Amino acid sequence: MSRGHFITLEGGEGAGKSTLARALSERLRADGASVVTTREPGGSPKAEAIREAVLAGRIKEYGAFAEALMFSAARIDHIDRLIRPALSQDNWVICDRFIDSTRVYQGVLGDIDAGLLKELEQVTVDGLMPKLTLILDLDPEIGLARAARRRSPGESVDRFESETLTFHRRLREAYLEIARREPQRCVVLDADKSPAALADAAWAALSERLMTTREP
């Protein structure tokens, strides 16, 4: 078992990221690894507080750049409090959403200037990039239906789930574009599979990309 790596899971609503994060962490642990699973927005107490505000739609009226700033503030705390310390202790870190969510949801869909967003990203992550990003590709109609089925009675739709189908189709394309531009980091997985089949495909990608390499 090589020492831990930073892995991120990305994709549209209900694509199966949280389910896959659990499956991957179980397989890594069975293989003898120490694993920390986390999510964005969130992952630290301050970041979870920001999550609540943004997903409740309280920042929406200030525009996409303000939302990007909030996600970035949450990310800085999450990186400092949880991700870097976990990696420095040789844990694997599996994070449900990270920079690509900001690039896609706020950058592409929010129409923020690409150069400005890149600068914000660089300041935010301060050199920390995922070693591997698994992009779960799924027809948004299927993903949104999954997310709706999981919702408990009376629970409201969040800030981004309530966007139009056109928005979610553009999201899917934007993720695929990131994968085309960064093939070294990104692997696209067909998320229209059973959870077990998706976990197998993810494990194969992880094994191929990470298990054979040793950090210097």
In the complex, the residues that contact ligand T5A under the rule CB under 6 A are: 13-19, 40-41, 55, 71, 96-97, 101-102, 105-106, 146-147, 149-150, 158, 160, 193-195, 198
Residue 86 or residue 144: which is nearer to ligand T5A going by CB? 144
Residue 102 or residue 216: which is nearer to ligand T5A going by CB? 102
Q: What residue has token string 């574009």?
A: 177
Q: How far is the CB of 182 from ligand T5A (least distance, A)?
A: 17
Residue 18 or residue 34: which is nearer to ligand T5A going by CB? 18
Residue 41 or residue 130: which is nearer to ligand T5A going by CB? 41
Q: How far is the CB of 147 from ligand T5A (least distance, A)?
A: 4
Q: How far is the CB of 184 from ligand T5A (least distance, A)?
A: 22
Residue 132 in 3-state DSSP? strand
Per-position DSSP letters for 66-101, written without gaps between them: HHHHHHHHHHHHHIIIIIHHHHHTT-EEEEES-HHH
Q: How far is the CB of 214 from ligand T5A (least distance, A)?
A: 30
Q: How far apart are CA 13 and CA 165, in angstroms?
A: 11
3-state helix, strand, coil in the chain (%, to 5): 55, 10, 30
CA of residue 167 relative to chain centroid, distance: 18
Residue 186 in 3-state DSSP? strand
Q: Are 152 and 29 in contact (CB under 8 A)?
A: no
Q: How far is the CB of 104 from ligand T5A (least distance, A)?
A: 8
Residue 53 or residue 55: which is nearer to ligand T5A going by CB? 55
